[in-house]
Structures are given as structure tokens and as C-alpha cells.
Amino acid sequence: MTQGKGAKDRVVPFPATFKETLALHIDGQHAKHATFLFESTQKKPYSTRGVRAMLARYAEQAGLAHNMAPHRLRHFLFTWLKTQGIDDALIQPYSGHESRTSLEIYSRLALTDAQRQYDQVIDHFPV
């Protein structure tokens, strides 16, 4: 993605299983003589407001209690990757951060996550 938040270019990760779906979409866009990979019915690229509205609809359909803005979705993904044990060196190219120390924000667990972890192990405390 070019010129994301902070006017930075971003690499957008997606699972290998998505490759075929994306290829089909690209073929469909070529068949429609589209100018943009993702464009509105007016043949224009989606606006920031349009993307936010789409994510809000999907968040509501998924039963999420809060909106998922594009940048927040990225933070959620990187936090999740960290909790899965993915090394900072593998996350950094996708994050757009200059240094690995900037990735520390993804290491902070939400208090509810910390409480959940605590509740699982406290009964085994050897005292």
C-alpha cells in the first residue's frame, strides 16, 4: 500500500491461501478495465472514509463491540502475531516501524489478557 498513515508506504501481509482469491479479483478488475485494484462503483479508489465505513460494517457483522479503523486493525494483527511468538524481526518489515524497539507497543498485553493469564496459573503458585 502506498502512502499509508504518516505518508509511509506499507507492505500488507496476507496468508498464502489468499493468493488465489486475490488473483481472481485482479482478473475480474482487468476484465472490467478497472484503473485501481480496489475501486468504488464510481471507478475511483476507495477514500479513507469509505474504507473506515466498510470496516465498521464488517466489525458490526462480526459482533465486535468497537470499530476497527485500518490502522487499529494493523495494531491488532501485530499484537496477535507477537502473542503467537512471532519474532520482531519478522514483524518489522510489515509494521513500517524504523526499529525493532518501536515494536514494543505490540508486546503490551491488555489488562484483560493479563488477568486471564493470571487466573490460569495462580492456582499452581507453590505457596
Q: How far is CA 82 from CA 48, 104, 111, 120, in A?
A: 27, 10, 16, 20
Residue linked to cell 496477535: 80
Express as a percent the part of the chain with pLDDT over 70.
88
Residue 85: inside a domain: yes
More confident residue, 26 or 100: 26
Total number of domains in the chain: 1
Domain that holds residue 79: 68-127
Residue 4: inside a domain: no
pTM of the prediction? 0.63
CB 88 within 8 A of CB 103: yes
Residue 40: inside a domain: no
Position 122, amino acid? I
Residue 35: inside a domain: no
**Where are the strands (E) in 3-123, listed by range?**
none
CA dist., res. 32 & res. 37, Å (int): 11
Question: Helices H, strands E: what count in the chain?
Answer: 5, 0
Residues 18-53: tens digit of each pLDDT: 999 999 999 999 999 999 999 988 999 988 888 899
Q: Which of 44, 43, 31, 106 lies closest to 71 in space, CA to CA?
A: 106
Residues 114-124: tens digit of each pLDDT: 788 888 888 88
Report pLDDT for 22: 93
Residue 84: inside a domain: yes
Residue 91: inside a domain: yes
Q: Which of 61, 60, 36 lies closest to 46 in space, CA to CA?
A: 36
